[in-house]
A and B are shown apart, each in its own frame.
Chain A
């Protein structure tokens, strides 16, 4: 539902970043979106394309890295993808594991061209 606002924040950040390199044009932006970020990736892509169309960013490539929910077990240091909310460590059985990824809503990089 709020993908349009998120898309708008992404394009703002891309413009701010490109402005630091006079003469360069942003060609691609890389995002990281977590499984639990509450963002629909297809909808976000649609919003980014709609907002960028007929602007200085109309040919901006969009790369989205989908980050699945992962937990880490402090006892045996095993890291695993959480399926069906099962957070017990599949390696040692400990129930005391904590989230290490899955809520990302990050801009990783921008690619610039002269």
Chain B
């Protein structure tokens, strides 16, 4: 019997496709965000608010994943940006191949921002790289402040947590400081923005975050000389 060391990622084929996507996005200066949450936390509502308020000088595209129905694509198409529904027919997450296939329908597209709304699920989507710049996890106040501890992967791998439905705080036993502390315990680097998509609260902070990240992506595509001063940009926002 001979043992052959392989030492490769189980999802190396997905990772290979994701790397090709990332190269293309970097080349185009496209900011790509992979939105992850439980079903019903407000991913689609956040995107609706975002598309409605997106400054006119930014172009965006949306890929939205669900197991069935094109309800989300129809909701999002009203805002005048290209939207595609990816129905996974059972799969609990999006993978890089699905993104490749979807983007083949937009061969000429060079978006400033591409939003990928993953299937509602806090577990499986965290394992699949989609070539994104970063993952954004959305947690709503009706879910319980211990979700980061119960589903650490999603919070560990996200750069930003959006705490949504803050308008419901007076009606639910949700300790927002505890939720923030729990997320920081899993990922000390995670940034946090509070929003209420129903009431339109906190969206200006989210839009500023998007603009800063988009600017960083654009400068990276200009090459290594495009030195990026995040603090300067933050101060000017």
Contact check: which of A2, A105, A113 meets B1 at CB < 8 Å? A113
Shortest distance from the beta carbon of B65 to any chain A beta carbon, whole Å: 13
Chain A contacts of B229 at CB under 8 A? none
Chain B contacts of A105 at CB under 8 A? 9-11, 127
Contacts A38-B123, A105-B127 known; A31 to B10 CB distance under 8 Å?
yes
Chain B contacts of A13 at CB under 8 A? 6, 8, 10, 12
Chain A contacts of B188 at CB under 8 A? 87, 95
Contacts A38-B126, A85-B152, A85-B186 known; A111 to B4 CB distance under 8 Å?
yes
User: In whole angstroms, what is the CA distance A85 to B184 when docked?
Assistant: 10
Q: Is the CB of B13 within 8 A of A108?
A: no
User: In whole angstroms, what is the CA distance A99 to B188 when docked?
Assistant: 11
Q: Is the CB of B10 within 8 A of A107?
A: yes
* Chain B 83-97: CB-based contact to A (< 8 A → 1; otherwise 0): 000000001110100
How many residues of chain B get a CB closer than 8 Å to chain A's CBs? 30
Chain A contacts of B152 at CB under 8 A? 36, 85
* Chain A 19-31: CB-based contact to B (< 8 A → 1; otherwise 0): 0010010010001
Contact check: which of B6, B7, B92, B156 meets A2 at CB < 8 Å? B92
Contact check: which of A24, A36, A106 meets B2 at CB < 8 Å? A24
B208: interface (CB < 8 Å): no
Q: Which of the four size classes fits the interface of chain A? A: 20 to 34
Contacts A1-B124, A27-B1 known; A107 to B8 CB distance under 8 Å?
yes
B3: interface (CB < 8 Å): yes
Shortest distance from the beta carbon of B79 to any chain A beta carbon, whole Å: 31
Shortest distance from the beta carbon of A56 to any chain B beta carbon, whole Å: 17
Contact check: which of B5, B6, B91, B126 meets A5 at CB < 8 Å? B91
Q: Is the CB of B92 within 8 A of A6?
A: no
B185: interface (CB < 8 Å): yes
Top 4 A-B pairs, shortest CB-CB distance:
A2-B124, A1-B92, A38-B153, A85-B185
> Could you write out 25 A-B pairs with CB less than 8 Å apart?
A1-B121, A2-B91, A2-B93, A2-B124, A2-B127, A5-B91, A6-B10, A13-B6, A36-B156, A37-B153, A38-B127, A39-B127, A85-B152, A85-B185, A87-B185, A107-B6, A107-B8, A108-B5, A109-B5, A109-B6, A109-B7, A111-B1, A112-B1, A112-B4, A113-B2
Interface residues of A (CB under 8 A from B): 1-2, 5-6, 9-10, 12-13, 17, 21, 24, 27, 31, 36-39, 85, 87, 95, 99, 103, 105-113
